[in-house]
């Protein structure tokens, strides 16, 4: 079960190389202590432009029903955040940080709570090339990370 208070940062566009990555989407999800509301902020970049737009604030109740892509069923936002928390606790990150996009989705997730921190993609994105990380994700771990990305995207899309 996810803690009562946490913060998450999601970024699409983490690979760079010599130049810094150019994110196409950044979203944050925070759950303040003693709150049943997720605070969500989203900024996106229009193709062909150099900057992200302003962050747009949204909210989503923990009990809100969220539909994931390719599924006919819904799950509560709380259940999805619990799944995300459990999944991230089992997944490896690249070593050294920022060396390689080991999941191949050009996406990073940062999870922070009092009991657990997890971050892939390095603070300035990924600058290395395939094989630069001493840790590599298995196909099953890549599928788990893809599910984690789908969860975050679905929560962000559902928020009003």
Rg, Å, the chain Cα set:
15
Domain positions in the chain: 6-158
Residue 123 confidence (pLDDT): 74
Would you state the structure tokens that stand for residue 107, as one six-digit string? 């996406």
pLDDT in tens, the chain (160 residues): 899 999 999 999 998 766 778 899 999 999 999 999 999 999 999 888 888 999 999 999 999 999 988 888 899 999 999 999 999 999 999 999 989 999 999 999 999 999 999 999 877 788 877 778 999 999 999 999 999 999 999 999 999 9
In angstroms, rounded to a whole number, what is the distance separating the alpha carbons of residues 86 and 2?
A: 8
For the residues of 40-108, what is the DSSP string, one character each? EEEEE--TT-SS----EEEEEETT-EEEPTT-S-EEEHHHHHHHHHHHHHH----SSTTS--TTSSSEE
């Amino acid at each position: 079960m996810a803690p009562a208070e946490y913060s998450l940062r999601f970024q699409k566009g983490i690979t760079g190389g010599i130049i810094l990555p150019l994110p196409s989407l950044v979203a944050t999800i925070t759950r303040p202590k003693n709150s049943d509301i997720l605070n969500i902020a989203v900024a996106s970049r229009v193709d062909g432009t150099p900057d992200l737009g302003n962050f747009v604030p949204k909210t989503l109740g923990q009990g809100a029903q969220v539909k994931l892509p390719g599924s006919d069923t819904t799950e509560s936002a709380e259940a999805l955040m619990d799944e995300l928390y459990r999944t991230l606790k089992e997944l490896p990150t690249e070593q050294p940080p920022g060396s390689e996009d080991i999941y191949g989705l050009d996406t990073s997730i940062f999870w922070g709570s009092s009991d657990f921190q997890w971050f892939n993609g390095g603070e300035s994105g990924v600058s290395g090339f395939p094989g630069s990380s001493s840790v590599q994700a298995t196909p099953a771990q890549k599928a788990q990370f893809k599910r984690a990305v789908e969860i975050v995207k679905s929560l962000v899309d559902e928020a009003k």
